[in-house]
Structure 1
C-alpha cells in the first residue's frame, strides 16, 4: 500500500505537492469514490481516476541515453524531427526525459516513467551536479570565468555556474575547451551565458550527471540504470537538501 499522492506523482500526473492539491479539491477518485483525505493509501489493484481519466500505472523504469546532436529532448515533435524516445523503440513503458538537452547539445540524458523521481532530480534545490564540456568560439578571459562562477543576469534570469575552468586553448583556431558544472537547468543556459560574455558556444556536451557518466557508450546508445544507481541518485538528492 502506498499513499495516493505518491502513486499519482510516480505516474507523472503532477508533483507530489500538486497531486495533494488535486486530492483536496475532490478531483481524484479511487474505485469510483471521490477522495479528499491526504492520508489515503492505495494498492496496485485499486482503480484511480483524475478528472475522470483513469490512471495508468506501470512499473517504474529508468534509462540513461547518450543523446546525439540534432535530437529533440521530447517524446514527440510536430515538425517530424527525431526525439529521444526514438532511440529506445523496444521500451513499452511511457518514457519521458528528466529535464532536457538542447537540440544542438549532445550527452547524458536520463529517461523514466517515474514522475516523482524526475521532479526530485530536476529541482535545483537538490543540487545534482550536471557537468558539461564546451568548445567555444573565442578564448574566455579570467574575468569571464569569474563572471560565470559569480553569476549574471541574462534576459531577466539569474544564471550561475557552480564551477567553470578552462581545460585547453588553441590560439591558432581561437577556441577553448571548457568544463562547467551547473545545478540550475534553465533553457539554453550555457549558451546564453557565453553569448552574454561575447564568447559563443561552438559545441556542447553533457559529460556527467551526478556520479553517472557516458563510459562505454556511443552517441545514440542507451542502457537501463541499475537498481543501486537509482537508489544512489535518490540518496544524493536527499543529502543535498539537508
Structure 2
C-alpha cells in the first residue's frame, strides 16, 4: 500500500476582513485543493498595501478549527496576517497563498495601494506561489458565483504549473457575467485624489479621501483595466523586482564624482 500523500496547505487571507463575503467565496474556491488555513484581519484593512504593525502588539484569535479548515482572526494588517501565519500558526510553510476576493478592482496602479495584493506579495517574497483575487464591485452583497468558477480554473493552473520565483498573479474579475480570461499587462493610469472637506461640531477641520481613477489608455486591449471593463477576467503576472533594468546602463554613464 502506498503512503498517504500529505494535503497541500493553502493560506487564505484578505483585506476586507474575516466577515467579508469575498473571503468566504475564496475559501469555497480552493477548499477542494487542500488543507485550508484562514488568517484574516478582524476588520476592514483596505488600502494598507504592504504595511505592518510595529507600535502595538498584534492579537490573534482562533475562530474555528475542524478537519481541513482552520480560521483565525487577526487584529493587524493583511501582511501581519501572512507573517503571523508563516511564523506562528501554520504547521509548515504553505504550498500556496491566496488573497481576496476583494470588494473592488485592483487593476493598474491600485496594486501599489492594495492590502489584497500586499498580502499576496508577502507570500511571494517568501517563495510561495501566490495569487490575489479582486472583483470589480464594492457591493457588500456582491455575487461571487462567476468569480469562483473562473478563479478555480486559474488556481488549478497554478497548482499544475507553478510560478517563477518572485512572481505572483494579480487577478481581477469583472462584475456580472464573465466572457473569458485574458493575460494582460498593468494599465497606465493613476488615481486623481480629491478630499471632501468637513467640520466637526467643535469647528475642527477633517477630510474624507475621495477621487477617481484616470485611465491613460482606455482603448488598450492588452491591459487589465480594458479587460474588466469589457467583461473579461484579467491575469497580470506581477514581480517583486521593481528595478528599471532598461535604465541601468544610462545611469551608469552619469557623473557621480563629488
TM-score bucket of the superposed structures, by smaller chain: under 0.3
Normalised by the length of structure 2, the TM-score is 0.22
User: Which structure has more RCO (C-alpha within 8 Å, separation ≥ 6)?
Assistant: 1
Normalised by the length of structure 1, the TM-score is 0.23
